[in-house]
């Protein structure tokens, strides 16, 4: 019988953050989007909290930035679990600048057509044969 160590891994590297965080990074389930004005925005789902993402398109993985280009036919929302690193103090009622250090379990919801949402598989944990949650 074949046994494997159970480890959840993703193939996505950490996202590049050029701004130094002022607090420890925290995981948030959220929606990453692009629009005019603040280029990238992350909404922490279940709250009214919004983050202005400081990374910039050039510092995001290609698999993610492809869906955030506003002029692309692939323009989409990206839902998932994001590692958010604040770069300025929190001010209630204001959008907070932050750097996103990574994202896992990402789901893309296309905005320009009727395609259903789909997973970015490279950001989902690797399946391990024999692990009960996958059977």
Domain edges within the chain = 26-124
Percent of the chain with pLDDT over 90: 67
Confidence label for 131 from pLDDT (cuts 50, 70 and 90)? low
Q: Are 122 and 90 in contact (CB under 8 A)?
A: no
* pLDDT surpassing 50 at residue 3: no
Partnered with residue 31 across adjacent β-strands are 43, 79
More confident residue, 36 or 6: 36
Partnered with residue 96 across adjacent β-strands are 51
* pLDDT surpassing 60 at residue 13: no
* pLDDT surpassing 90 at residue 100: yes
Q: What is the pLDDT of residues 110-126, one digit of tens each?
A: 999 899 999 999 899 87
pLDDT score recorded for residue 5: 34
Provide the 8-state DSSP code for 21. P
**Whole-number Å distance between alpha carbons of 55 and 39:** 10
pTM of the model: 0.82
Cβ neighbors of 59 (< 8 A, separation 6 or more) are: 15, 16, 17, 18
* pLDDT surpassing 50 at residue 10: no
* pLDDT surpassing 90 at residue 14: no
* pLDDT surpassing 50 at residue 11: no
């Amino acid at each position: 019988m074949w046994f494997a160590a159970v480890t959840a891994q993703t193939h996505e590297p950490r996202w590049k953050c050029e701004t130094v965080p002022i607090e420890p990074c925290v995981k948030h389930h959220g929606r990453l989007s692009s629009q005019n004005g603040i280029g990238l925005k992350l909404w922490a789902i279940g709250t009214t909290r919004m983050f202005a993402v400081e990374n910039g398109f050039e510092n995001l993985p290609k698999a993610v930035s492809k869906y955030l280009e506003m002029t692309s036919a692939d323009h989409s929302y990206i839902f998932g679990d994001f590692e958010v690193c604040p770069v300025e103090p929190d001010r209630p009622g204001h959008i907070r600048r932050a750097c996103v250090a990574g994202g896992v379990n990402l789901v893309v919801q296309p905005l320009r057509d009727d395609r259903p949402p789909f997973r970015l598989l490279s950001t989902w944990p690797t399946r391990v044969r024999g692990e009960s949650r996958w059977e």
